[in-house]
Amino acid sequence: MGWFEKLKEGLTKTRDNLTQKVEAIFNFTSELDDDFFEELEEALIVADVGFNTTTAIVEKLKKRIKEKKINQIQEAKDELKNIIVEIMRGDKNIDIIPPKTPAVFMVVGVNGVGKTTSIGKIANFFKSRGYKVMMAAGDTFRAAAIDQLEVWGQRCGVEVIKQKEGADPAAVVFDAIQSAKARKVDILICDTAGRLHNKKNLMEELRKINRVIEKEGRDFYKETLLVLDSTTGQNAIHQAKEFIDVADVNGIVLTKLDGTAKGGVVIAINNELNIPVKMIGVGEGIDDLQAFDPEMFVDALF
């Protein structure tokens, strides 16, 4: 099953509600009046888009409807999709493939969103495309986090650089970069411990890891991926803001889209902060990772 089918299947229940709702609006309202826009707002909020972004989208749609003299239901619907796709794509780079190698990926995010699992999947993604990949067990804090990454290492046949539980994560990353250089690795992916963005000391620790990567990995192309759980509501915006403050986040991995949550908050994040979604997680298996496709995402949303 392709990800789109999987996504659609996963979203069926809520999607049906939403589609029915949106279609009901488009079919039973003869005019594109206030009620119509209000119902539209509801549909977007239920998808976790958030009030501010929802309002912005609806305002934009109203303007377009006027400009383009839209009075057909289907046209308005298409225009709505266009607007969201524009927000999600823009002129942003949504490709995870690095423009050059060697490249180092640092993966960050709050607790339990799916960082380690996504790293396993991404390592496999690159390995199967012929890259020489290595992983760094930069979560030295959580119980059995290193063992978990090692299982992923075995699954995709990728070496894991690690130290003992409780070791300094910056030191692990330092080691890993030296090994990556010595072994001429194309892509090094660094796991980090989950941390809530409002914890000053933990965010400082991340800043330190980031500095090590910037200093030791000067010759590497650098990518920082923020992992967001699609089940998360408006707090994801705070998360994104705080993590960009610490590191130069250039992509989002949106996980758990195989559930009924639609991850609409990434629309708000793209609208406000302009960080593109690059990959999506659609399950717990090694192949349950897909490149982000804005059109399909929006289609699955409505």
Partner 1 sequence: MAFEGLTHKLQETFKKLRGKGKLTEKDVKEAMREVKLALLEADVNYKVVKDFINSVSQRAVGQEVMESLTPGQHVIKIVNEELIMLMGGRESKINISPKPPTVIMLVGLQGAGKTTMAAKLALHLKKSNKSILLVAADVYRPAAIKQLQILGGQIDVPVFTLGDRANPVDIAKAGVENAKKNAKDVVIIDTAGRLHIDQELMEELQNIKSEVEPFETLLVVDAMTGQDAVNVAQSFNEKLDITGVILTKLDGDTRGGAAISVKAVTGKPIKFAGVGEKLSDLEIFYPDRMASRILGMGDILSLIEKA
116 binds Mg ion (CB under 5 A): yes
Using alpha carbons, list the distances in angstroms from residue 271 to 50, 112, 267.
Answer: 11, 25, 6
Going by C-alpha positions, the residue among 294, 300, 301 that lies closest to residue 87 is: 294
Q: Structure tokens of 16?
A: 């049906």
163 binds partner 1 (CB under 8 A): no
139 neighbors 116 (Cβ within 8 angstroms): yes
Pick 80 or 113: Cβ nearer ligand GTP? 113
115 binds Mg ion (CB under 5 A): yes
Burial of 235 (0-12, 13-18, 19+ CB in 10 A): middle
- Cα–Cα distance between 190 and 160 in angstroms, integer? 10
Judged by beta carbon distances under 5 to 8 A according to partner kind, the member of ligand GTP, Mg ion, partner 1, none in contact with residue 48 is: partner 1
Q: Which stretch binds partner 1 (CB under 8 A): 60-68, 73-81, 84-92, 144-152?
A: 144-152
Judged by beta carbon distances under 5 to 8 A according to partner kind, the member of Mg ion, partner 1, ligand GTP, none in contact with residue 103 is: none
- Cα–Cα distance between 30 and 246 in angstroms, integer? 50
115 labeled binding residue? yes
Other CB atoms within 10 Å distance of the CB of residue 179: 15
111 labeled binding residue? yes
257 labeled binding residue? yes
Instruction: For residue 254, list its beta bridge partners.
Output: 228, 280
Pick 66 or 285: Cβ nearer ligand GTP? 285
Judged by beta carbon distances under 5 to 8 A according to partner kind, the member of ligand GTP, Mg ion, partner 1, none in contact with residue 175 is: none
Binding mask 198-237 for ligand GTP (x = CB under 6 A): -----------------------------x----------
**Crossing angle (nearest 10°) for helices 3-28 and 73-89:** 140
196 binds partner 1 (CB under 8 A): yes
116 labeled binding residue? yes
192 labeled binding residue? yes
Least CB distance from residue 223 to partner 1, whole Å?
23
Going by C-alpha positions, the residue among 194, 148, 150 that lies closest to residue 169 is: 194
Residue from the set 205, 223, 258, 288 that interacts with partner 1 by CB under 8 A: 258
Letter string b/e over residues 11-47, b meaning 16 or more CB atoms within 10 A of that residue's CB: beebbeebeebbeebbeebeebeeebbebbbebbeeb
Pick 223 or 229: Cβ nearer ligand GTP? 229
Q: Which stretch binds ligand GTP (CB under 6 A): 11-19, 24-32, 66-74, 191-199?
A: 191-199
Q: Which stretch binds ligand GTP (CB under 6 A): 22-30, 90-98, 188-196, 262-270?
A: 188-196
Hey, which residues between 237 and 256 contact ligand GTP (CB under 6 A)?
255-256
Question: Amino acid identity of 221?
Answer: Y
289 labeled binding residue? no
- Cα–Cα distance between 135 and 191 in angstroms, integer? 7
232 labeled binding residue? no
Q: How many residues bind partner 1 (CB under 8 A)?
A: 45
- Angle at the Cα of 278 from the Cα atoms of 83 and 257, rounded to 5 degrees: 80
User: In the complex, which residues of this chain contact partner 1 (CB under 8 A)?
Assistant: 10, 13-14, 42, 45-48, 50-51, 110-114, 141-145, 147-148, 150-152, 196-199, 229, 231-236, 238, 256, 258-262, 265, 284
